[in-house]
Amino acid sequence: MFYPYGFGLGSHWLLYIGIPLIIGIWAQIRVSSAFRKWGEVRASSNITGAECAREILQAAQIQDVDVVETNDFLGDHYDPTSKKLHLSSNVYHTPSVAAVGIAAHETGHAIQHAKAYAPLKARMAIVPMTMIASQMLPFVIIGGLFFHLTGLITLGIYCYAILLVFQLITLPVEFDASRRAKIILQQMGIVQPGREVAGVNKVLNAAALTYVAAFIAALGNLLWLLSIRDRR
């Protein structure tokens, strides 16, 4: 009878795919919960996420970055190619602890870019290769597992290795942006010590867990494919 690779692995699948998947779901629930909670707590500075980002950029003497609105929920990100800081509507227009925390974090990436922060430069360099690997993976995995093509499984291993390197480089980039955000928000008096600082910490720490979860997932997928190839 025909069985594609990956079925019947039992403990291997649970260890390498199941557990990382559960961790990823848990991390997403935590960040969504933290954002909802602290998105309802007004920052004492009474400035929106967009105003927060612009004030930090001005203080850092960065004049070539635009702050723009995106409709994607929690789709906040800094694009170093276009030098645009994208903030979701709930962050862009809201003067909450969560909004200024996320805005400051993304502005931290703009500061990294302006200061030529080495891990960010490394991540930017590997982005094209990562995009190619991500686009290839669905076809490689389906072909390798369902048609028992070892060559495609090996190619999938290389693709996941690229993704793993990308996720590994992402960790210091994100941790540093959060570190900068926490310091800047207090230095500029955008949040006050006590409850507001604690709220920012909880939002940004929850967000950081999603990047750790993504790294664990990439590692799990890589180990899973390695275990499949070794069973041949």
Let me know if 193 is exposed, middle or buried by CB neighbors in 10 A (0-12, 13-18, 19+). Answer: exposed
Distances (CA, A) of 141 to 74, 136, 164: 29, 9, 16
Q: Tell me what pLDDT residue 6 has.
A: 45
The region of weakest confidence among 93-102, 135-144, 160-169 is 135-144
Mean local confidence (pLDDT), 203-226: 94
Residue 11 has a pLDDT of: 63
Q: Name the more confident of 146 and 118.
A: 118
Indicate if 106 belongs to the active site. yes
Catalytic residue among 51, 55, 106, 196: 106
Query: Cα–Cα distance between 65 and 130 in angstroms, integer?
Result: 25
Confidence tier at 51 by pLDDT (50, 70, 90): very high
Residue with the larger pLDDT of the pair 167 and 154: 167
pLDDT band of 162, cuts 50, 70, 90: very high
DSSP E strands, 48-99: 66-70, 77-79, 84-88
Antiparallel, parallel or unpaired: β 84-88 and 66-70? parallel
User: Residues 61-98: pLDDT tens digits?
Assistant: 999 999 999 998 889 999 999 999 999 999 999 999 99
C-alpha to C-alpha distance for 53 and 48, rounded to whole angstroms: 9
Task: Residue 208: name the closest of 165, 166, 179 by CA.
Answer: 179
Q: What is the pLDDT of residue 10?
A: 53
C-alpha 123/C-alpha 105 separation (Å) is 17
Mean pLDDT calculated for residue range 142-170: 89
Average pLDDT over residues 50-61: 98
Q: Where are the domains of the chain?
A: 11-230
- Residue-level pLDDT at 1: 35
pLDDT score of 3 more than 50: no
pLDDT at 15: 80
pLDDT of 232: 60
pLDDT at 46 over 60: yes
Residue with the bigger pLDDT between 15 and 125: it is 125
Q: Is the dihedral of CA 71, 86, 167, 148 positive or negative?
A: positive
Residue 198 has pLDDT above 50, yes or no: yes
| pLDDT over 90 percentage in the chain | 77
Has residue 148 got a pLDDT over 80? no
Mean pLDDT of the chain, nearest integer: 92
